[in-house]
Chains A and B, each alone.
Chain A
Amino acid sequence: MTLLKSREAILVGAILLLLALVASRFPGFVTPSNLVAVFTDTAPLIILALGQMVVILTRSIDLSVAANLALTGMVCALINVAFPGVPVPVLVALALGLGALMGAINGFLVWKLTIPPIVVTLGTMTIFRGIIFLLTNGSWVNSHQMSSAFKAFPRENILGLPLLGWIAVIVTLILGLVMSRTTLGRAFFAVGGNPHAAVYTGINVGRTQFLAFVISGMLAGLTGYLWVARYAVAYVDIAGGFELDVVAACVIGGISIAGGVATVAGAVLGALFLGIIKNALPVIDVSPFWQLAISGAAIIIAVTFNSRAGRSKGRVILKSAEHAQ
């Protein structure tokens, strides 16, 4: 436990250092209003990283999150255009349901057909994007076609923070509870830590992975609606390549790609770290040609720190052999 604590402490330190560096070049970045804006902008990444965390924890990976987001977002936009009267809470429920359904498809293939998760989600990623194309013939749903209530929802300001930011906070709290206080949460850790041992304790490994994919899909669906409403546009390629950002956020957050090691705080901090870089690069006047390299280098440095902090010292089990050397 102290080990995990220190891992996150390092990440918090890295984020503060990053903020200080950015502030030295552009002081306006650390004003409270801008930090709120950065947090809100990072909210979709936080929500998706939390879903991805659960999946990676069970030794799987979900590459279809961005495509799931795009498809759910497009469906919500199309419904809003066709039936502008449908209230936003209904759309949110629908987005959660549709996202969960797509996650369930991934989970089912992994569980019942035991196809490797990376292959399943690579396939469904393309299928989901393809379905958007079939639904729309490649055309866009534009800002003026969406109802104003549809677009206003994520921007609703409550106590200084837009609803989009609050949703990220709420999702974080819920997952924090699930991971630490429920049998399901502990099952995720058990399955990722040692699947064979998990079986002996009566945990169904496949079913647990299935549920992880459902959670990830559900959160991707929720983000889909929020994304489309925030940017007020829906088309085939929205959030293209975003799944890699999500995986990167998890890795930065100290979540072991081999499964079994993850914390909610790690996922959130990893997403924040990446979100701050994304928001800071445009304002610190760095050549756009350097931006990709800088963002990649930051990821590798963060991961290096993490893995060094997380490396446990080997325990000497043969004292006599040690002395013999």
Chain B
Amino acid sequence: MKKLSKLLTTAAIATGLFAGAASAEDMRIALVVKALGIGFFEAAAKGAEEAASELGGVEIIYTGPTDTTAEGQIEVINSLIAQNVDAIAVSANDTDALVPTLKKAMQRGITVISWDSGVAEDGRQMHLNPSSNPLIGNMIIKLAADELPEGGEVAVLSATTTSTNQNIWIEEMNKVMGNYPGVEVVATVYGDDLADKSYREATGLMQSYPDLDAIIAPTSVGIVAAAQAVVDAGKVGQVNVTGLGLPSEMAGAIESGASKSFAIWNPIDLGYSATMIAYHLSKGDAVAEPGASIPMGRMGEVTLDETNSGAMADPFVYDASNIADFKDIF
């Protein structure tokens, strides 16, 4: 008896939810993340809700597996297909494993895009990168140069000599050095993404180049270690540490003044943009094809390349004014 009443209550609540959540015309966009409970993705969901309320008539289904597996995501996507949602925007745990399931979704007329972590071309209509290599390369030198109106000496503290991402970013950075006259890159050193080696390399840089003005570390381990080295060397205010890092890890460095600013993609903007794109594609007022431009509300628009992928924006800059809002998010 008890069981039955429980079952009935559950059914009643479920019906209530379905009835209350959305009227028939609402567009339902599913935001599928790598795993639930990760601050970065919770923030992206916040951005998606922002986009939904701006657009109106959109319901966001924020979902994902409990651990970061492709199997878990396939299960989640299958149930979304069964619910016949209008669009799926996924940050994939595996480039290829999700393709068959996502293909099935597209055959049923569901708009499928990937964002943050992409799916192979067959499995999505388009992919939204948080940023692009040229934008990142430009941003890391811009962060240092903005604090050096008179020019100065900067050094790069990278991960390992063979880290693909870091090497591409540094290469892109060197390409735009001409735009920052007076700023000179005096050295590039490698901390191997180890806290102790990065710390030692940063200390070495400050010894070898007594007039050093900034250390650019496009790696999350390196930037934290360099900031600590600057604090320990008593060079806060003389040497500015910048580059790519996470707000939760860099909050201490911003507080101590060792780092004036740093950058990383903003998950809120990312969730917002993915939702905007999914909305426009699903509505049919934009088409995902090479060279196409798709509007993203307040984030401008994204232009697709030959693989149907596009970059959202410059990395987002974090400094003393906004670090408190983000340090608990990711």
CB distance from A324 to the nearest CB of B (A): 59
Check A322 for interface membership: any CB of B closer than 8 A: no
Alpha-carbon distance between A289 and B205 when the two chains are bound, in angstroms: 17
Check A76 for interface membership: any CB of B closer than 8 A: no
Stretch at the interface among B74-82, B175-183, B224-232, B309-317: B224-232
A238-254 contacts to B (CB < 8 Å): 238-242
Number of interface residues of B (CB under 8 A): 30
CB distance from A295 to the nearest CB of B (A): 11
A residues near B327, Cβ cutoff 8 Å: 144
B208 with A283: CB separation less than 8 A: yes
B residues near A144, Cβ cutoff 8 Å: 251-252, 255, 327
Stretch at the interface among B17-25, B42-50, B193-201, B294-302: B193-201
Check B217 for interface membership: any CB of A closer than 8 A: no
B208 with A285: CB separation less than 8 A: yes
Residue in A28, A142, A241, A242 whose CB lies within 8 Å of B248: A142
Residue of A nearest to B254 (CB): A144
A255-308 contacts to B (CB < 8 Å): 278-279, 281-283, 285, 288-289
Q: A231-B228, A238-B195, A288-B161 are in contact. Are A283 and B248 (CB under 8 A)?
A: no
A residues near B255, Cβ cutoff 8 Å: 144
Check B265 for interface membership: any CB of A closer than 8 A: no
B224 with A233: CB separation less than 8 A: yes
Residue of B nearest to A241 (CB): B194
Residue in B161, B189, B232, B249 whose CB lies within 8 Å of A233: B249
A residues near B199, Cβ cutoff 8 Å: 231
B194 with A233: CB separation less than 8 A: no
B196 with A283: CB separation less than 8 A: no
Alpha-carbon distance between A37 and B161 when the two chains are bound, in angstroms: 26
Alpha-carbon distance between A239 and B196 when the two chains are bound, in angstroms: 7
Residue of A nearest to B67 (CB): A137
Q: A278-B200, A282-B204, A282-B208 are in contact. Are A142 and B189 (CB under 8 A)?
A: no
B residues near A14, Cβ cutoff 8 Å: none
Check B203 for interface membership: any CB of A closer than 8 A: yes
Residue in B188, B194, B205, B228 whose CB lies within 8 Å of A143: B228
B200 with A231: CB separation less than 8 A: no
B228 with A289: CB separation less than 8 A: no
Check B253 for interface membership: any CB of A closer than 8 A: yes
Check B165 for interface membership: any CB of A closer than 8 A: no
B252 with A143: CB separation less than 8 A: yes
Number of interface residues of A (CB under 8 A): 30
CB distance from A137 to the nearest CB of B (A): 9
A41 with B200: CB separation less than 8 A: yes
Count how many pairs of residues, one from A and one from B, have CB atoms less than 8 Å apart in the complex: 73
CB distance from A93 to the nearest CB of B (A): 25
Check B272 for interface membership: any CB of A closer than 8 A: no
Check B238 for interface membership: any CB of A closer than 8 A: no
A204-219 contacts to B (CB < 8 Å): none
A231 with B195: CB separation less than 8 A: yes
- Kindly supply a per-residue 1/0 record for chain B positions 254-288, scoring 1 wherever the CB is within 8 Å of any chain A CB and 0 otherwise: 01100000000000000000000000000000000
B204 with A279: CB separation less than 8 A: yes
Check B169 for interface membership: any CB of A closer than 8 A: no
Alpha-carbon distance between A155 and B207 when the two chains are bound, in angstroms: 20
Check A34 for interface membership: any CB of B closer than 8 A: yes
A residues near B227, Cβ cutoff 8 Å: 143
B residues near A283, Cβ cutoff 8 Å: 204, 207-208
CB distance from A19 to the nearest CB of B (A): 15
CB distance from A273 to the nearest CB of B (A): 16
Alpha-carbon distance between A227 and B199 when the two chains are bound, in angstroms: 12
CB distance from A133 to the nearest CB of B (A): 13
B residues near A28, Cβ cutoff 8 Å: 207
Alpha-carbon distance between A10 and B199 when the two chains are bound, in angstroms: 31
Q: A143-B253, A144-B327 are in contact. Are A279 and B208 (CB under 8 A)?
A: no
Alpha-carbon distance between A116 and B196 when the two chains are bound, in angstroms: 31
Q: A143-B224, A155-B232 are in contact. Are A279 and B252 (CB under 8 A)?
A: no
Alpha-carbon distance between A279 and B199 when the two chains are bound, in angstroms: 10
Check B190 for interface membership: any CB of A closer than 8 A: yes
CB distance from A147 to the nearest CB of B (A): 12
A residues near B205, Cβ cutoff 8 Å: 282
B residues near A238, Cβ cutoff 8 Å: 195
A289 with B252: CB separation less than 8 A: no
B208 with A231: CB separation less than 8 A: no
A23-41 contacts to B (CB < 8 Å): 26, 28-29, 34, 37, 41
Check A18 for interface membership: any CB of B closer than 8 A: no
CB distance from B217 to the nearest CB of A (A): 13
Alpha-carbon distance between A289 and B190 when the two chains are bound, in angstroms: 9
Check A4 for interface membership: any CB of B closer than 8 A: no
A residues near B190, Cβ cutoff 8 Å: 288
Alpha-carbon distance between A282 and B201 when the two chains are bound, in angstroms: 6
Alpha-carbon distance between A41 and B204 when the two chains are bound, in angstroms: 12
Alpha-carbon distance between A289 and B251 when the two chains are bound, in angstroms: 33
Q: Contacts A143-B249, A233-B195 given; 11 further ones with Cβ under 8 A?
A: A41-B203, A142-B249, A143-B256, A144-B251, A227-B196, A231-B228, A282-B189, A282-B200, A282-B208, A285-B208, A288-B161
Q: Which 9 A-B pairs have the closest CB atoms?
A: A282-B204, A143-B252, A144-B252, A144-B251, A231-B195, A283-B204, A288-B190, A282-B201, A142-B249
- Could you give 20 example pairs across A and B, Cβ below 8 Å? A41-B200, A41-B203, A142-B248, A142-B252, A143-B224, A143-B228, A143-B249, A143-B251, A143-B252, A143-B253, A143-B256, A144-B252, A227-B196, A232-B228, A238-B195, A282-B201, A282-B203, A282-B205, A283-B204, A288-B190
Residues of B within 8 A of A (CB): 161, 188-190, 193-197, 199-201, 203-205, 207-208, 224-225, 227-228, 232, 248-249, 251-253, 255-256, 327
